[in-house]
Amino acid sequence: MKRWAVGLVAAVVFLSAAQAFAVTHYVRRSGSPCGVNHTSIQQAINHASDGDTILVERGIYREQLTISKNGLTIFSSRGARQTIVLPSELTPGGVVITGNGNTFWGFTVRDTTSGHRHAHRLIFVQGDDNTVLENILIGRGPSSYSDGGIVVRGGGVGDGIAAGNWIDSNEVYNTVDGILSVS
- Provide the strand spans (E) within 93-174: 95-97, 103-105, 108-110, 121-125, 131-133, 136-138, 148-152, 166-168, 171-173
pLDDT for res 141: 87
Residues 9, 11, 15, 20: is their CA dihedral positive or negative?
positive
| Contact yes or no for 126/154 (Cβ under 8 A) | yes
Q: Cα–chain-centroid distance for residue 78?
A: 17
**Rounded distance between C-alpha atoms, residue 146 and residue 122, angstroms:** 12
Phi, psi of 57 (to 5 degrees): -75, 160
Give percent of the chain with pLDDT exceeding 70: 87
- 47 φ, ψ to 5°? -80, -25
Amino acid 7: pLDDT: 42
> What pLDDT does residue 20 have?
60
Question: What integer pLDDT is reported at residue 94 of this predicted model?
Answer: 97
Listed as ranges, residues in the chain with pLDDT below 70 are: 1-20, 156-158, 183
Instruction: Please state, as a whole number, how many other Cβ atoms lie within 10 Å of the Cβ of residue 92.
Output: 18
* CA 119/CA 128 separation, integer angstroms: 23
Distance of alpha carbon 121 from alpha carbon 170, whole angstroms: 14
- Cβ(41)–Cβ(65) under 8 Å? yes
Please enumerate in sequence order all residues whose Cβ is within 8 A of that of 12, keeping only pairs 6 or more positions apart, or say none. Answer: none
Provide the pLDDT for residue 158. Answer: 64
